[in-house]
Structure 1
Amino acid sequence: MALTESNAPQPPFHDTTAVADERKQPTELVVREIVETLLLTFFIFWLVNSFVGRYRIDGSSMNPTLANGQYLLINNFSYYLNEPNHGDIVVFKHPNSDLNLIKRVIGVPGDHVEIQERQVLVNGMLLAEPYIQAAPTYTGDWTVPDGEFFVLGDNRNSSSDSHSWGFLPEENILGKAMVVYWPIADWELVPHVDHPIN
Structure 2
Amino acid sequence: MADVKKQNEVWEWGKALFIAIAIAFIIRIFLFTPVVVDGSSMEPTLHENERLIVTKIGEPDRFDIIVFHAPNNEDYIKRVIGLPGDHIEYKDDVLYINGEPFDEPYLNEYKQKVNDGPLTDSFTLQETPVGSDLVPEGHLFVMGDNRKYSKDSRHIGAIPMEEVVGKTNIVYFPIQDIKVIGK
Larger radius of gyration: 1
Question: Which residue does the alignment assign to 2:180?
Answer: 189
Contact kept, 8 Å, 1:140 with 1:163, in 2: the verdict is no
Match for residue 139 of structure 1 among 109, 114, 123? 123
SS of the residue 1:87 aligns to = coil
The superposition leaves residues 134-170 of structure 1 with CA deviations (integer Å, 9 ceiling, x where unpaired) of: 3302422341111111101111111000112211111
Segments of 5+ residues of structure 1 without an aligned counterpart are: 1-21, 194-198
Count of equivalent residues: 166
Question: Which residue does the alignment assign to 2:17?
Answer: 38
Contact kept, 8 Å, 1:119 with 1:126, in 2: the verdict is yes
SS of the residue 2:105 aligns to = coil
Counterpart Cα distance in 2 of 1:165 and 1:32: 53
Alignment TM-score, normalising by the size of structure 1:
0.79
Tell me how far 1:33 sits from its aligned partner.
1.6
Counterpart Cα distance in 2 of 1:146 and 1:137: 25
Contact kept, 8 Å, 1:117 with 1:139, in 2: the verdict is no
Match for residue 90 of structure 1 among 63, 66, 72? 66
In the alignment, does 2:59 pair up with 1:59?
no
In the alignment, does 2:89 pair up with 1:110?
no
Tell me how far 1:101 sits from its aligned partner.
0.1
Question: Which residue does the alignment assign to 2:99?
Answer: 124
SS of the residue 2:72 aligns to = coil
The superposition leaves residues 10-54 of structure 1 with CA deviations (integer Å, 9 ceiling, x where unpaired) of: xxxxxxxxxxxx232321221112111211221121122121111
Match for residue 155 of structure 2 among 164, 185, 188? 164
Counterpart Cα distance in 2 of 1:126 and 1:179: 28
Backbone CA RMSD of aligned residues: 1.4
After superposition, the Cα gap between the structure-2 partners of 1:145 and 1:34, relative to the gap in structure 1 and judged at 3 Å, is same
Counterpart Cα distance in 2 of 1:170 and 1:25: 54
SS of the residue 2:61 aligns to = coil
Match for residue 69 of structure 1 among 31, 49, 53? 49
